Structure 1
């Protein structure tokens, strides 16, 4: 393909952040890992079972059982866009090896060039950054540019592409004879699609092997150095600066280039927006954000005192370096990293992950409804009947709790909301009981207002007191601003 470009899928590198044991899992471990995958695959289907992976991860790489399971289920959520209540029996070996490669970026020198803020496991006894430090998730400002981007990701991939492709070859063929030149096939190249995309800037290929003409014939096997040279010549660190031409003709076998929906820098705002594909929300403060549509991945970072409602995430949602935030979402998987004093109301197909750097993370039952919720759940392959919101897996400090039933309140989406709709996620009895008591208390006040036992003046005084307190609550919580902004949106 002439003028072929290659770029990294940033959402995959972002999501592939795990507290890995650095001394046992390195780039140099990939070839040995590939040989173990191949030797354990008696079916020769080039797959890796969870049993095989868990044994290798815990015994050879010194992963905990929880970390081994989390890495495996995260891969399945990313690859298939849908998770499972149970761990899948097996996954594609070359693709899983390619995903493991991306997890190593966060232990490399490429990661530390611009992004040294993310807490790592190299110093497990180091204290959490000071609340006044720029590294603290409580800091009011978070500069996205301080984190890694295409240049760092591409430099990492380019530097280790020979090792990765050689390992992928070993994952299929096993240990070669002495002196054999390792070769790759379309399957090896396509396995890189878990973290790479390529095309012409306007459109992208559906399979990466389309970028290498020598591999168009599925029977071709090409030496690894030849493929490395071809791919390294295609990397474009400035891909984000290339705007697709809206009138460009779509070539056969290609799809429109996927560009994430980005919401950034909102301050005391109400945002109502639809999205698809990958969603990025960064650096928002004291804002309410509604994304009432299904997306593939969601990355939320550097947000403070925000409420974010997402229709459904078919893959993985990640919340990092956020503070005093509430997220309401249905998702296959969710990871929370370096986030504090935040609450998640979830429909979650797999166990939520609380990773390093978190403090005071609260999990509560899913608490909202809106018109497109059922359709969003279906589009994302989710069901409210499969919900593990209250069974988080913790890698690191035990920094979470379940929401106190007395603190549970339904969240009302003030538009696209049929009053007759019912929350599809069943409410555990302690929460349902607390909610019934609260509803009864409100009903009692209503009856008092309408009661003949009160004089007209007394009813008027009680009504005025309720309205006064309600207005005070609107102002204190910031909901008065949201009501005003929603009224403005309605008139547009």
Structure 2
């Protein structure tokens, strides 16, 4: 497995952690893992090395230029990996979502062209390699009573479903005591540290001539590592070739001299070790220091500001965390990066009206969450009785229950794990900058595959938690389409955007005919009721009684639905 990479005989340039910061790219680990058993290889190069050769053989006839990266299409992936063509397309689509270069043809391709464009074989091999990654095991909670205070009453399902049902999982592993971003970053770096020898062996090539056992990396092969790691100073990114001493001053008009893989290996491991030391110090300081304010209960009036945390790095996510029984609104100017994580929020309404690359909704219950336009992927996990409204290229739904998803999505919704009573429906809202945000991130309003969910297995092999015996034999549950009679438009109050130009006037996604007919019928019924009320010849006292009754019923609905707190919270904004 480690053959061909010898200890370096030359001293690598040393970089202090103040000069260069190496990080694992979060996206492949958070959005790029697929629970398809035939994609998971635990023997490193032993299987993936021969598979790479098969990919090259299959793609050789399609290679137009020897200087261009060799690409393999969906049919080639299907044949080599012996998976269905639908799963091969899913591999390409998922890889497109997590690639580090937005200029790669797979990223810029239209949804219908992914099959033929195919994947750079080296990117594909790295993608397949990390399918063996297992997520960090959640920590146990120090105060179980605190969890009971946050979570709603026990679900009716909990009496007879698996002990690892979505609600129970999140009860015992809420964001307040699951791994922090620093924990996850350290864990991902440790994984790369352990496997870097094999990863470089898969990217490297032999030297022709005298020393064929020596593995070297060209500049182009080295840049593929950007799929897994990034270098930057104070949160800004730099291309790998600029960060590496052996490629930093390469002449763009002259090919750089290939570098021994062992030299690259030593240099990367030195930087990972320094980064892990730095991360360990941060985690230790946080755990031993004063308690985090976000872990304390906050007053409702303060929740809108104190529970939102920005991040300094352009690739780091912003957090909306621990919101309970309130409503918040965030625009692009409120976000420090292009990704958002909505975590452990309950009985609330959350608006993130911004263009995003990635979004995660985790551990939420009894909430409505409106996400703006998401150009890469949305992941919704371990949620119960949540409504999610989003315009996105793709969405992954895992281990959720009794949730409704109002979607404008360019790719099939992917449903993973143990889900129950999910419903999908067409997109049902708009705000003034929605179309502008969709154009910025590349979401196409003419393509909406909301009604075509793709279901994978119930057990996620990447999850570190154990699973009940026999659960792998249970058929995973898909989502049903929302009854058109229950479909309604969701109104985003326009006072959120009093100073913003109103360029979007209506829902940019065309409604299916049956949902449009239901909408028209509802509007007609409302008009009929209004007309009946106008035509009633009532005495003034009866009119006052009718008006009072309507107000009482409306007030009861506001309290019963939880929408009353939107009026209180937003009035304060």
TM-score higher than 0.5: yes
Q: Work out which of the residue numbers 468, 483, 487 in structure 2 matches 1:404.
A: 483
Equivalent pair of 2:350/2:368 in contact (CA under 8 Å): yes
Matched, 1:302 2:356: no
Normalised TM-score (structure 1): 0.85
Hey, what's the Cα distance between the residues in 1 that align with 2:235 and 2:173? 37
Equivalent pair of 2:322/2:343 in contact (CA under 8 Å): yes
Aligned equivalent of 1:85: 111
Structure 1: give runs of 5+ residues left out of the alignment: 117-126, 243-254
Aligned equivalent of 1:250: none
Equivalent pair of 1:114/1:146 in contact (CA under 8 Å): yes
Equivalent pair of 2:377/2:393 in contact (CA under 8 Å): yes
Equivalent pair of 2:318/2:341 in contact (CA under 8 Å): yes
Matched, 1:160 2:195: yes
Hey, what's the Cα distance between the residues in 1 that align with 2:229 and 2:91? 19
Aligned equivalent of 2:540: 456
Write the mapping of 1:263-342 to structure 2, written as runs, cut at 5 A: 263-274=320-331, 275=335, 276-342=337-403
Equivalent pair of 1:361/1:399 in contact (CA under 8 Å): yes
Distance change (3 Å), C-alpha of 1:455 and 1:419? farther
Aligned equivalent of 2:246: 214
Aligned equivalent of 2:214: 181
- Report the more deviating stretch, 77-86 or 295-304: 77-86
Aligned equivalent of 1:52: 76
Q: Give 1:179 shift.
A: 4.4
Hey, what's the Cα distance between the residues in 2 that align with 1:208 and 1:152? 21
- Report the more deviating stretch, 17-26 or 230-239: 17-26
Aligned equivalent of 1:74: 94
Distance change (3 Å), C-alpha of 1:359 and 1:195? farther
Hey, what's the Cα distance between the residues in 2 that align with 1:293 and 1:132? 32
Distance change (3 Å), C-alpha of 1:461 and 1:314? same
Aligned equivalent of 1:251: none
Distance change (3 Å), C-alpha of 1:239 and 1:11? farther
Q: Give 1:166 shift.
A: 1.2
Structure 2: give runs of 5+ residues left out of the alignment: 1-14, 141-159, 284-311, 458-475
Q: Could you say what the CA RMSD is over the residues aligned between the two structures, in angstroms? A: 3.0
Hey, what's the Cα distance between the residues in 1 that align with 2:345 and 2:478? 24
Write the mapping of 1:370-385 to structure 2, written as runs, cut at 5 A: 370-385=431-446
What does the per-residue CA deviation read over 1:322-358, in whole Å, with 9 as the maximum and x for residues that have no partner?
1111111111111111111111111101111011222
Aligned equivalent of 1:124: none
Aligned equivalent of 2:316: 259
Aligned equivalent of 2:49: 31
Normalised TM-score (structure 2): 0.73
For residue 421 of structure 1, give the secondary structure of its aligned residue in structure 2: coil
Equivalent pair of 1:83/1:315 in contact (CA under 8 Å): no
Aligned equivalent of 1:479: 563
For residue 394 of structure 2, give the secondary structure of its aligned residue in structure 1: strand
